[in-house]
Amino acid sequence: MSDPSTPDQLPNVHVRAEVLVQALPHMQRYDQQVVVIKYGGHAMGDRAAAEDFAEDVVLLEQSGIKPIVVHGGGPQIGKMLEKLGIQSEFKGGLRVTDAATVEIVEMVLAGSINKQIVGWIGAEGGKAVGLCGKDGNMVTARKVTRTTVDPDSNIEKIIDLGFVGEPEHVNRAVLDQVLSAELIPVLAPVAIGQDGHTYNVNADTFAGAIAGAMAAKRLLLLTDVPGVLDKNKNLIPEMTIDDCRRLIADGTITDGMIPKIETCIYAMERGVEAVVILDGKVPHAVLLELFTDHGAGTLITRG
């Protein structure tokens, strides 16, 4: 073991101590608070990024925060469907999920990906429990319906997405028990419907519903972009709900960012204090956002 009093070591030790001191007020702000983290995108496919994420989650729990992880897995589902020769179709930006597809979705999300994340957290010294919305009737889903307008006839048509659902009700009893045991819940966005069918739920939407039900202090949505960008592609560091609606209306926020923003608004209307959209590719993005003044994405508040 090196002697910390040697000249070349001393500045480094002081810098580390200063970082810890600066983190203290942030730790106090989130002490015993629930933080829901939606984990997906590029970070899930990169081993080093996955290990950084697992370290962040374990540190949060050790610091007195109550993290809940919700994960996606679209690319992994796509690879497995391709491997098995099952054709996959997208309508309105959502995967059409027939009976054969929903079996694969559940296998990949609630099986391999979920347990892989639990394993990463365990390897960093944390204690995680892998669950999905079906466990303990945690999340009840209803079938999603979408409409599209035929460009020729101008007639609105209903799109049948199969077993694609959205959260209808969240029962927090299981999560309360898991958190009280100082365990880290890792949730796959698969839920049961009133009709008894299994539904594939968008991970952002699932995370928003969980955060709202748990009255989370923060909802963090890890993505593949730095956050919300303006028309010049510059990061917008902070926004209100009114800003979000205005930027959707004027076309600044488009495409896949719109449903993310809608999830942010939904969560805050249900009691979440604030939501952050941040880049999951940035090393230790979660710690940068929660424990430093710098932040790591776009903070969205009620205003």
Report whether 12 belongs to an annotated binding site: no
194 touches 158 (CB < 8 A): no
Closest alpha carbon to 116 in 51, 67, 56: 51
For the chain, how big is the Rg over CA atoms in Å? 20
Distance in angstroms (rounded) separating the CA atoms of residues 149 and 222: 32
Taking the chain, what is the end-to-end CA distance rounded to the nearest angstrom?
Answer: 51
Other CB atoms within 10 Å distance of the CB of residue 265: 17
Secondary structure element (H or E) that encloses residue 263, with its range? helix 257-269
Residue in the structure block whose two tokens are 């994960």:
71
Phi-psi category of residue 166: left, alpha or beta, with phi > 0 → left and psi -120 to 50 → alpha:
beta
Report whether 171 belongs to an annotated binding site: no
Distance in angstroms (rounded) separating the CA atoms of residues 58 and 240: 30
Strand, coil or helix: 144 = strand
Secondary structure element (H or E) that encloses residue 123, with its range? helix 114-123
Report whether 208 belongs to an annotated binding site: no
Report whether 270 belongs to an annotated binding site: no
The binding site consists of 73-74, 95, 200
- Annotated binding-site positions for substrate: 73-74, 95, 200
